[in-house]
Amino acid sequence: MGGKLWGARFSSKPDVMVDRFHASIGFDKRLWREDIESSIVYSRMLAKQGIISDSEAATIIKGTFAFDESLEDIHTHIEDALIRRIGPLGESLYTGRSRNDQIALDTRLYVKNAILELIHLVTELQVTLVELAEKNQDLVMPGYTHLQRAQPVLLAHHLLAYYEMLKRDKERLEESLKRTSVLPLGSAALAGTTFDIDREFLCRELNMESVSSNSMDAVSDRDFVVECIFCTALSMAHLSRLCEELILWSSQEFGFMEISDSFATGSSIMPQKKNPDIPELIRGKTGRVYGHLISLLTMMKGLPLAYNKDMQEDKEALFDTVDTVANSLTILSMLLKEVEFKGENMLKATQQGYLVATDLADYLVRKGMTFRKAHQVVGDIIRMAEAKNKELHQLDVKEMKDFSPLIEEDVYEWLDPRSCVERRNINGGTGPEAVKRALSKAREELQS
């Protein structure tokens, strides 16, 4: 008891430094639930197949354990605890099973549960965005390209863009479940086992979708870990983009919104400061998740079949990624519930910078001009307006008519930012009716 599971072949103990460097219990102890769950099902299967008796299986299932840093991994802890509690019978639990297929299963069970939790948290953030969009349906703001004011849009339309990003994130996570929910037990170390293991029974009892087809692939596959981290890295990219906008919008230069005091911090030297630390931290933690993805891809790229100790390095990257993404989704949803948008400042920003220029060109097209010509005419008008330090709606008809006789008094209907938004009710557009349809569709998707 307390020795290495692999120690019989060795004539001396490992150096203390080797033990420390080699041990994984410091992080893989997080897999204790998965390891116990799979071990209970495995012992029931051994009894079902007549490999051990029903009474032996019942005795094994009653086992308990406590963590001991001298034991190198979670599997050793559980076996050691069983042997201490029930004697040599505890050793029977590992009949036909290796740490290689066992850790593969534990990790798959962990990733599966993590994905389900992340899907829930993504959905919660989607709900928050929809509620925020519904609450602010009438607010008009500048839409941007190249971080330059481009055209007026509804704030609700802008927020729903992130809803769509999160919807794709959720779809990717859901699709990855199929490739995660694969049973590796029965693969043993790499070649399979000589015992009559009922893999289909294990698959059903552990609620997995399929049984692995190749024992060597099963113990050396970490695609599902990489895929999980990739999916969450992309989610973090989307959160980071939203956080960047929250940081900009809450600055005095934009003045579009204010973050609640509950989700901001101050300065130790400047009493007036209110800093958007939470969005900044999420933006920063995105790089952390990217780093884990690159780390795993690099680790796996040169490994020969089958299992290699390098693969132990997947756990810390996986656990930290799941924690980071889950915490980011949770706190961002909380923050957004308390933001306050400044509609007057947003609308005022749409009235500066010639955001209605495209609508003026569309107006000329409707009067019979080609769009390419209209684009040129409006560009000439803007150059003149800039010289006079005027916005388009501040020009009189005569000033504009000098560039095209097609321009009449009705042009002003096309130079109001609100009317520009209201004309864009095409499906997927920023018009009020289009946004209402999008909100209704989002609600239906969330309820289903």
* 299 and 254 fall within a common domain: yes
From the candidates 11, 12, 146, 268, give the one annotated as an active-site residue. 146
Q: What pLDDT is recorded for position 1? A: 43
Is 400 a domain residue?
yes
Reply yes or no on whether 267 is catalytic: yes
The CA distance from 219 to 303, in Å, is 12
Reading phi first (left if > 0) and then psi (alpha if -120 to 50, else beta), residue 428 is in: left
* 366 and 307 fall within a common domain: no
Q: Amino acid identity of 282?
A: I
Is 148 a domain residue?
no
Reply yes or no on whether 70 is catalytic: no
Q: Can you name the residues that pair with 252 across neighbouring β-strands? A: none
* 247 and 105 fall within a common domain: yes
The CATH code of the domain that includes 423 is 1.10.40.30
* 332 and 387 fall within a common domain: no
Specify the pTM.
0.91
The CA distance from 401 to 395, in Å, is 10
Report the alpha-carbon angle 152-157-159, nearest 5.
Answer: 115
Give the residue carrying structure tokens 């990790």.
107
* 122 and 233 fall within a common domain: yes
Q: What pLDDT is recorded for position 32? A: 85
Spell out the per-residue pLDDT of the chain, length 448, in tens. Answer: 445 554 566 666 776 666 676 566 776 788 888 988 998 999 999 999 999 999 988 988 875 555 555 555 665 666 666 667 777 787 778 899 999 999 999 999 999 999 999 999 999 999 999 999 999 999 999 999 999 999 999 999 999 999 999 999 999 999 999 999 999 999 999 999 999 999 999 999 999 999 999 999 999 999 999 999 999 999 999 999 999 999 999 999 999 999 999 999 998 999 999 999 999 999 999 999 999 999 999 999 999 999 999 999 999 999 999 999 999 999 999 999 999 999 999 999 999 999 999 999 999 999 999 999 999 999 999 999 999 999 999 999 999 999 999 999 999 999 999 999 999 999 999 999 999 999 999 999 999 8
The CATH code of the domain that includes 65 is 1.10.275.10
The CA distance from 30 to 109, in Å, is 12
Positive or negative CA dihedral for 40, 41, 45, 48?
Answer: positive
* 336 and 251 fall within a common domain: yes
How many beta carbons lie within 10 A of that of residue 167, not counting itself?
A: 16
| Structural domain containing residue 86 | 7-95
From the candidates 53, 55, 210, 267, give the one annotated as an active-site residue. 267
Is 259 a domain residue?
yes
Longest CA pairwise span in the chain (Å): 100
How many beta carbons lie within 10 A of that of residue 177, not counting itself?
A: 16
CB 53 within 8 A of CB 47: yes
* 311 and 398 fall within a common domain: no
Q: What pLDDT is recorded for position 70? A: 53
Report the alpha-carbon angle 422-427-429, nearest 5.
Answer: 45
* 183 and 243 fall within a common domain: yes
Q: Amino acid identity of 394?
A: Q
Is 46 a domain residue?
yes
* 188 and 162 fall within a common domain: yes
Q: What is the C-alpha R_g of the chain?
A: 31
Looking at the structure of the chain, the number of domains it has is 3
The CATH code of the domain that includes 193 is 1.20.200.10
Is 147 a domain residue?
no
In our burial notation (b when 16+ CB lie closer than 10 A, e otherwise), range 315-334 reads: bbbbbbbbebbbebbeebbb
Is 1 a domain residue?
no
